[in-house]
Structure 1
Amino acid sequence: MTTSPSIPDSLNAPGNPAEAPKRGTTPVRGSAAVLAVLCTAQALDIMNLSSVNMALPAMARDWHASPGQLSWVVSAYSLMFAGFLLVAGRAADLYGRRRALLGGMAVFAAASAVVWASPSLLLAVAARAVQGAGAAVTVSAALGLIGALWREEPGRSRALGAFGAMGGVGLAFGLVVGGALAGSVGWRAMFAVNVLVVVVLVVAVLALIPADDPGDRARGRLDLPGAALATGGLLGLSFASTRLGGDAADPAGWAAAVAAAALLAGFALRQRRVAEPLVPPAVWRRPNLAAALAVAVFMYAGWVGVNYFAALLLQNVLGFGPLATGAAFLPLAVGGTLLPLVAGRLVPRVGVRRLMLFGLSCSTVGLALFALVGPGADYWLVVLPILVVLIVGLSQTFVPANITALSGAGSGEQALAGAMFNTALQVGGGLGLAVLSTVATTADDVLTGYRAAFLTAAGLSLAGLITVLAGIRDPRRPSR
């Protein structure tokens, strides 16, 4: 390891250094092998968001299920993943991040085995929900371990860049692997592969990552009522976003939104009164945290929404078929894999604030340009350059925002900080799709609706840029 300044000193505002490793404890250090294990766990969890889409037709034949029923095979996983992140992160900090990583992977593998052997759709949906909860624990614990094992620059930025890149790898290769397995040996094989990969990862974790140091854990206990309120509220919010994204007037979606608001309000009130809250008050006093979470919401709201409408634009306006549309988005998959690594190397040189401003500027411009795309637009001359600008913007915003959210977190808050950032992403994505869908459906015609959605997405990205200008202070330059 180098002797460069520790990441909390270089990424926190002056006068707010993060907690240093305690004297007398064994210093924890990251390695390429450990990072490979954590990144593989991340990629596997994200792959399961997309790979199952390739198995839906075969599942429909096996279970004689309707498209509406099959949608829950996808939704059950994503809803539990989004709703369980916050609680999973706090639990990992309290009871040990390595222990949580192993437990999350075990739950994920066991649920995968149930889906593999499931004789009915109902059992498969229930198992997918449990699988999503296991994935939430795994991702939160893995991100917390990165925060704990890589304490110095430029190692932490590069590690977070690699970890973020695995999200793009997982989404892209989930479709490829899922399609290959479903089209050859059958859809159940992809869940059997999950079990095999987890077995290898568990062996690697036991061999490479030291046992949790009791002195490195958070103090206190898990606030179970608060956890129930937070999880229920986030589940309701995710469910409402899913329903309202498809139909802005859906009664069940609005009922879920009201219930989610009540639960989250109850959670906020409890956090003020309980002695050991799920999110300790000191967490919110960290410099830049609230702004970084807001940036994550705005960034992902625009990104997820535009992905949806860009696919519709290509097919319904430019006349692309499904296969050609998938191929048209390949640059996003490649860029989403490679560009976060670049961002991880740029952060120590240019600072988190500058890089976020650059990334959000690119995103805002790219989203606005999509509103100009119309019938007859050439893919190579018009659409592809816009996609390149967009993926540059996303990658160069995601990594510094993630680093900012983790910077300053004490040794007992690493997983919670990562979980809060991922929760902000999930909330932003769901709300963004719901808002953009509502905007699009109020237009007089399809193309006008798409353009309104793109301009709204650009406005959300611009809101993120303004948030950085107003709320992020680059610690490389002392504030005046």
Structure 2
Amino acid sequence: MTTSESVAAPVRRTAHGSAAVLAILCTAQALDIMNLSSVNMALPAMARDWDASPERLSWVVSAYSLVFAGFLMVAGRAADLYGRRRALLCGMVVFAGASAVVWASTSLVLAVVARAVQGAGAAVTVSAALGLIGALWDEEPGRSRALGAFGAMGGVGLAFGLVVGGALAGSVGWRAMFAVNVLVVVALIAGVLALIPADGRQDQSRGRLDLPGAALVTLGLLALSFALTRLGGNAADGPGWAVAAVAVALLAGFALWQRRAAQPLVPPAVWKRPNLSAALVVAVFMYAGWVGVNYLAALLLQNVLGFTPLATGVAFLPLAVGGTLLPLAAGRLVPRVGVRRLMLFGLACSTVGLALFSLVGPGTNYWVVILPILVVLIVGLSQTFVPANITALSGAGPEEQALAGAMFNTALQIGGGLGLAVLSTVAATAGGDVLAGYRAGFLTAAGISLAALLTVLAGIRAPRRPNG
């Protein structure tokens, strides 16, 4: 199946092409992603309230991101089996309820547990929203534009999470951001109930959720995310490697169970779609380079060029703006150019931009050198992300849209953790001075991006043009 072929929608078509429905789904995406970054601005105030050390306080951030990454695949499959609108509403209710608990928390432990539950709610919400987009926008160019808008709102969430979190934490207090979560979700739920048609009665022929498989993959992904987080800070971390071994064992057990399960979590036919498998590999490589190089670039600007933390944040503003606008352009280009060509262009830009960053050193001018490199990088990411996402969804059947979207998002999360662990290790062990380590990291990131480009060449079959 190509991007030009339609996907049957399991809900009535009265919401098809609705700008209001897309606005609801995009706002939900932005809110979930905002909660990955906004809490960073509240950590100093939380530390004062609970007299907590930085190590303990970091779990307020990690609990959300770890559970979000680990729960995506199960959430996607559940949405496909039991109804995407139902899953969307359930995810929103869980997210809002957990936000209320964090708002009222009197201890760090309670806040961390609630943040973990909030991450699970976000995983369900994002997976169900992607599944609804795949079902309701089942024709080009509408699907590409809808996915472009959805991807853009992820950039908006990350960019403005720091702004909104800082504004609220610095004025009315850090608890206000969680109260805002509840108010926004209540409005979104009202919109879902009014505008998105109800799911039909559950079709028993779709099967049931594979609970053993769900447990294995969720625990495996949680362990893998935790291990990558530990190893990203210290490649010699013994507990990190031990957890990584547990993660490999759990994921291997999941793979073996899927071969014998009567109703596997991931149907065997899904793995037989070469475009989907290749898109997942591209997602891992793409995000590994992107997340890792953001980390290295921030250190480079501060430790080598002497930027303050505030100046570094301002220097990265073009990434936030580009990450908001350029996915929209990619969504409009896909029907004209095709997913394969656009991905190749995007990855070529990323590879060149990452390689050029290895030339930055003391005295490098931001406006003449660094800003153009940042522009090339964000063009590359945006023009890769959207067609890769479309490729992952386009090969999925009508009852697998949310699962395919969840698999793509899981690949992104794994890639981000893997990239941070690998590139930080390369930078720390490359030898020479600090700048030599950073340069080795940037060149490694360029190599990862090149591997993604070769994956597209070898594994992505060019789809038919919509009017071809």
| Band the TM-score falls in, shorter-chain normalisation | over 0.9
Residue 167 of structure 2 is matched in structure 1 by: 180
Does residue 385 of structure 2 align to residue 398 of structure 1? yes
Aligned equivalent of 2:75, options 84, 88, 93: 88
Residue 450 of structure 1 is matched in structure 2 by: 438
Residue 368 of structure 2 is matched in structure 1 by: 381
Hey, what's the Cα distance between the residues in 2 that align with 1:94 and 1:148? 14
Hey, what's the Cα distance between the residues in 2 that align with 1:20 and 1:169? 30
Hey, what's the Cα distance between the residues in 1 that align with 2:211 and 2:407? 17
| Contact 1:94-1:218 within 8 A present in 2 as well | no
SS in 2 for 1:423: helix
| Contact 2:96-2:182 within 8 A present in 1 as well | yes
CA gap 1:216/1:388 in 2 versus in 1, 3 angstroms: farther
Q: Deviations over 1:119-148 (max 9, x none)?
A: 000100010000001000000000000001
Residue 395 of structure 2 is matched in structure 1 by: 408
Unaligned 5+ residue runs, structure 2? none
| Contact 1:216-1:411 within 8 A present in 2 as well | no
Hey, what's the Cα distance between the residues in 2 that align with 1:370 and 1:454? 6
Aligned amino acid, residue 464 of structure 1: A
Alpha carbon RMSD of aligned pairs, Å? 1.6
Aligned amino acid, residue 454 of structure 1: F
Hey, what's the Cα distance between the residues in 2 that align with 1:456 and 1:232? 30
State the Cα distance separating 1:469 from its structure 2 match. Answer: 0.3
Aligned amino acid, residue 262 of structure 1: A
**How do 1:234-245 residues align onto structure 2 when only pairs under 5 Å count?**
234-245=221-232
Residue 419 of structure 2 is matched in structure 1 by: 432
Aligned amino acid, residue 348 of structure 1: P
Residue 357 of structure 1 is matched in structure 2 by: 344
Aligned amino acid, residue 403 of structure 2: L
CA gap 1:457/1:9 in 2 versus in 1, 3 angstroms: closer
Hey, what's the Cα distance between the residues in 2 that align with 1:342 and 1:232? 37
| Contact 2:168-2:176 within 8 A present in 1 as well | yes
| Contact 1:93-1:217 within 8 A present in 2 as well | no
| Contact 1:217-1:412 within 8 A present in 2 as well | no
Does residue 329 of structure 2 align to residue 342 of structure 1? yes
Aligned amino acid, residue 440 of structure 1: A
Q: Deviations over 1:259-316 (max 9, x none)?
A: 0000000000000000100000111122401100000000000000000000000000
Aligned amino acid, residue 414 of structure 1: Q
State the Cα distance separating 1:30 from its structure 2 match. Answer: 2.9
Hey, what's the Cα distance between the residues in 2 that align with 1:398 and 1:163? 11
Hey, what's the Cα distance between the residues in 2 that align with 1:129 and 1:10? 36
CA gap 1:467/1:189 in 2 versus in 1, 3 angstroms: same
Residue 65 of structure 1 is matched in structure 2 by: 52
CA gap 1:268/1:18 in 2 versus in 1, 3 angstroms: farther
Residue 168 of structure 1 is matched in structure 2 by: 155
| Contact 2:9-2:135 within 8 A present in 1 as well | no
Hey, what's the Cα distance between the residues in 1 that align with 2:85 and 2:174? 31
State the Cα distance separating 1:10 from its structure 2 match. Answer: 4.1
SS in 2 for 1:319: coil
Hey, what's the Cα distance between the residues in 2 that align with 1:416 and 1:357? 25
Q: Deviations over 1:369-411 (max 9, x none)?
A: 0001001101001110000000000000000000000002111
Aligned amino acid, residue 162 of structure 1: A
CA gap 1:215/1:350 in 2 versus in 1, 3 angstroms: farther
Residue 123 of structure 2 is matched in structure 1 by: 136
Residue 452 of structure 2 is matched in structure 1 by: 464
CA gap 1:321/1:9 in 2 versus in 1, 3 angstroms: closer
**How do 1:36-435 residues align onto structure 2 when only pairs under 5 Å count?**
36-214=23-201, 219-435=206-422
| Contact 1:30-1:146 within 8 A present in 2 as well | no
Q: How many residues align?
A: 465
CA gap 1:462/1:9 in 2 versus in 1, 3 angstroms: closer
Hey, what's the Cα distance between the residues in 1 that align with 2:160 and 2:203? 35
CA gap 1:384/1:25 in 2 versus in 1, 3 angstroms: closer
| Contact 1:116-1:191 within 8 A present in 2 as well | yes
Hey, what's the Cα distance between the residues in 2 that align with 1:107 and 1:211? 19
Aligned amino acid, residue 460 of structure 1: I
Hey, what's the Cα distance between the residues in 2 that align with 1:277 and 1:439? 38
| Contact 2:6-2:139 within 8 A present in 1 as well | no
| Contact 1:93-1:218 within 8 A present in 2 as well | no
SS in 1 for 2:109: helix
Hey, what's the Cα distance between the residues in 2 that align with 1:186 and 1:222? 41
Aligned amino acid, residue 222 of structure 1: L
Q: Deviations over 1:406-435 (max 9, x none)?
A: 002111101000000000000000011101
Hey, what's the Cα distance between the residues in 1 that align with 2:416 and 2:363? 30
State the Cα distance separating 1:29 from its structure 2 match. Answer: 1.3
Hey, what's the Cα distance between the residues in 1 that align with 2:15 and 2:48? 50
Q: Deviations over 1:316-351 (max 9, x none)?
A: 000000100000000000000000000000000000
CA gap 1:18/1:273 in 2 versus in 1, 3 angstroms: farther
Q: Deviations over 1:194-250 (max 9, x none)?
A: 000000000000000000134789700001110000000000110011000000001
State the Cα distance separating 1:18 from its structure 2 match. Answer: 6.4
SS in 2 for 1:422: helix
| Contact 2:73-2:410 within 8 A present in 1 as well | yes
Unaligned 5+ residue runs, structure 1? 1-7, 12-16
Residue 3 of structure 1 is matched in structure 2 by: none
SS in 2 for 1:372: coil
